[in-house]
């Protein structure tokens, strides 16, 4: 029996197929978000089934999460990304206590209790300056791909070098600020490091103090080189990138789908 988790995020759609009994991932995939996200999600699901020789009839339960979760009509249930993220991360790292999630359009910090449940969370979904969208804008302005942006920023993390100061709290104003820095002769690497430091500083302000360890970093931005190091510097605590950081929310949705299936089978008997 297979269960599926679909994370319909703001920038991408992720699908995880999970063995309902062993909770082992059977397949996982990502596709860009679009207008007809229900069709995109279904196409990705069907592709994963075909590529892994899994029959559609073997999929017994589907749970959707993310911004577009209510637009996935073939899902049996919907669950918030906060809950799914906690389940997915604790499945991978059972002792995780804090989750930092930075996606394309928002950033979140989740505090988990010792049992792994969400104790509280804070979220920024009003300003793109603390999200992956900010990094995309800067990479485009500097004429590089996102991974290269992280590599450039890393060159500034040595004694004697400092990142450029990016003070604007709005991505539009920050882009104007970056244009001014380039015009004044500031090196692109300094700007790249400054942008990463700016995002990390915003997250540290959201987090406050007394973060419980371990801290796990998830979301698409966790895959950008240097962002974990920038967070460690801002938080002054070790930050570990979660395994498959872009997929943890979809994984959590698949785990919750398996629990729904188990409850259904138990009730039937």
The domain in which residue 224 lies consists of 95-241
Residues 186 and 71 in one domain: no
Q: How far apart are CA 182 and CA 179, in angstroms?
A: 5
Q: Where are the alpha helices (DSSP H) in 26-131?
A: 37-51, 81-92
Residues 111 and 224 in one domain: yes
Residues 103 and 227 in one domain: yes
**In CATH, what number is assigned to the domain containing residue 221?**
3.30.420.40
Residues 10 and 31 in one domain: yes
Residues 64 and 21 in one domain: yes
Residues 6+ away with beta carbon under 8 Å from 74: 38, 42, 62
Residues 6+ away with beta carbon under 8 Å from 165: 194
Residues 235 and 150 in one domain: yes
Q: Report, in this order, helix, strand and coil percent for the chain, each rounded to 5.
A: 45, 20, 35
Residues 70 and 106 in one domain: no
Number of other residues whose CB lies within 10 A of the CB of residue 43: 14
What's the pLDDT score for residue 29?
Answer: 98
Relative to beta strand 25-32, strand 12-19 is antiparallel
Low-confidence residues of the chain: pLDDT under 50: none
What's the pLDDT score for residue 104?
Answer: 80
Q: How far apart are CA 50 and CA 148, in angstroms?
A: 34
Q: pLDDT (tens digit, 9 = 90+) per residue, 126-135? A: 666 667 788 8
Q: How far apart are CA 192 and CA 138, in angstroms?
A: 8
Residues 124 and 211 in one domain: yes
What's the pLDDT score for residue 173?
Answer: 75
Give the sheet arrangement for strand 107-112, strand by strand. Answer: 118-124, 107-112, 98-102, 215-218, 239-241
Q: How far apart are CA 23 and CA 241, in angstroms?
A: 21
- Asked if residues 258 and 18 have their Cβ atoms less than 8 Å apart, the reply is yes
Residues 131 and 43 in one domain: no
Number of other residues whose CB lies within 10 A of the CB of residue 22: 9
Q: How many CA atoms lie within 13 A of 10 on its CB side?
A: 14
Phi, psi of 156 (to 5 degrees): -90, -10
What's the pLDDT score for residue 253?
Answer: 98
Q: C-alpha angle with apex 101: 97 to 106, nearest 5 degrees?
A: 145
Residues 181 and 129 in one domain: yes
- The burial class, CB within 10 Å (0-12 / 13-18 / 19+), for 232 is middle
Residues 179 and 76 in one domain: no
Residues 99 and 83 in one domain: no
Q: pLDDT (tens digit, 9 = 90+) per residue, 198-218? A: 889 889 988 887 899 999 999
Region label for 20, one of left (φ > 0), alpha (ψ between -120 and 50) or beta (otherwise): alpha
Relative to beta strand 107-112, strand 77-78 is unpaired
Q: How far apart are CA 257 and CA 186, in angstroms?
A: 50
What's the pLDDT score for residue 169?
Answer: 62
Number of folded domains in the chain?
Answer: 2
């Amino acid at each position: 029996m297979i269960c599926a988790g679909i994370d319909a995020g703001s920038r991408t759609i992720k699908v995880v197929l999970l063995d309902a009994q062993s909770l082992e991932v059977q397949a996982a995939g990502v596709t860009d978000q679009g207008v007809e996200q229900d069709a995109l999600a279904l196409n990705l699901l069907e592709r994963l089934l075909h590529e892994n020789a899994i029959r559609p009839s073997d999929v017994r339960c589907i749970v959707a999460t993310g911004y577009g979760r209510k637009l996935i009509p073939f899902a049996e249930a919907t669950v918030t990304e906060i809950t799914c993220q906690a389940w997915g991360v604790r499945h991978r790292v059972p002792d995780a206590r804090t989750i930092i999630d930075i996606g394309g359009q928002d950033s979140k910090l989740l505090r988990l209790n010792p049992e792994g449940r969400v104790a509280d969370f804070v979220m920024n979904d009003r300003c793109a300056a603390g999200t992956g969208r900010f990094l995309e804008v800067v990479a485009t302005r500097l004429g590089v791909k996102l991974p290269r942006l992280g590599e450039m920023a890393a060159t500034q993390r040595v004694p004697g070098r400092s990142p450029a100061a990016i003070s604007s709290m709005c991505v539009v104003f920050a882009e104007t600020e970056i244009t001014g820095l380039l015009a004044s002769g500031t090196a692109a690497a300094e700007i790249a490091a400054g942008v990463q430091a700016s995002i990390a500083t915003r997250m540290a302000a959201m987090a406050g103090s007394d973060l419980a360890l371990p801290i796990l970093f998830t979301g698409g931005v966790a895959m950008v080189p240097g962002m974990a190091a920038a967070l460690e510097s801002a938080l002054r605590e070790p930050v570990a990138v979660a395994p498959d950081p872009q997929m943890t929310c979809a994984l959590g949705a698949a785990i919750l789908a398996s629990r729904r299936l188990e409850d259904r089978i138990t009730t039937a008997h």
